[in-house]
Structure 1
Amino acid sequence: MADYKYMMNADDVARELNCSKSHAYKLVRRMNVELAQQGYLTMAGKIPRAYWAKKMYGYELSAG
């Protein structure tokens, strides 16, 4: 579990979706706004991998 990255950046999103980096940045920004509206602290340019999985694939990652 040492190599597990909790946060994703725009490069990770672009690679996952096979899209441009600029589009990936837009998605990350949008998800950070959604998280902030829900009361979560956010980091510019990064989103939690678990939130990504829930938004994009409809499932939740378990901690394990």
Structure 2
Amino acid sequence: MKGIKEAFIDAGEISQMLGIGMTKAYAIIKEYNAELEAKGYFTMRGKCPRKYFEQKIYGYEDYYNPDYESERNRSKVAEEKDYEAAVEDSVISEQAEVDIQPETNRLLKEDAEVAENVISEADAMVKEIVK
């Protein structure tokens, strides 16, 4: 069985690890402990289970666990192979370039008439207010 120091992380270690102040580190512990209490787990004030902390901090495994590096590299290679296979099977990769015409700011005739009516009504309203 692991000792308390190995099983739990405290605010000092979180502060140093994440480069944040002690107040923020305690706030993180308090938040994580509240989540764990809601799930029915035992918590200790000022300490958080190390495993839970590692799961909640995004990127923690990448940076602090050197054993994880080889596993991550294997998954990257697999993703790249899947992507290459998908691109080779893709219809788009076999097509020539497609020209996409830029959108124009021209109004249709009906829309232009509506816009002119709105502008003339707005001008009339302004003249009445100014009088």
When normalised by structure 2's length, the TM-score is 0.41
Q: Paired residues, what number?
A: 59
RMSD of aligned Cα (Å): 2.4
Q: 1:16: Cα distance to partner? A: 1.1
Supply the distance in 2 between the matched residues of 1:42 and 1:10 (Cα, whole angstroms): 14
1:22 is matched with 23
CA 1:21–1:51: 2 relative to 1, 3 Å: same
Supply the distance in 2 between the matched residues of 1:6 and 1:15 (Cα, whole angstroms): 18
Q: Which runs of 5+ in 2 are unaligned?
A: 62-131
More strand by share: 1
CA radius of gyration, larger in: 2
CA 1:25–1:59: 2 relative to 1, 3 Å: closer
Q: 1:57: Cα distance to partner? A: 3.0
Q: Which runs of 5+ in 1 are unaligned?
A: none
* Cα shift readout 1:17-49 (whole Å, capped 9, x = no counterpart): 100001100000000000000110100000011
Write out aligned runs for 1:1-64 (5 A): 5-57=6-58
More helix by share: 2
The alignment-based identity, stated in percent, is 36
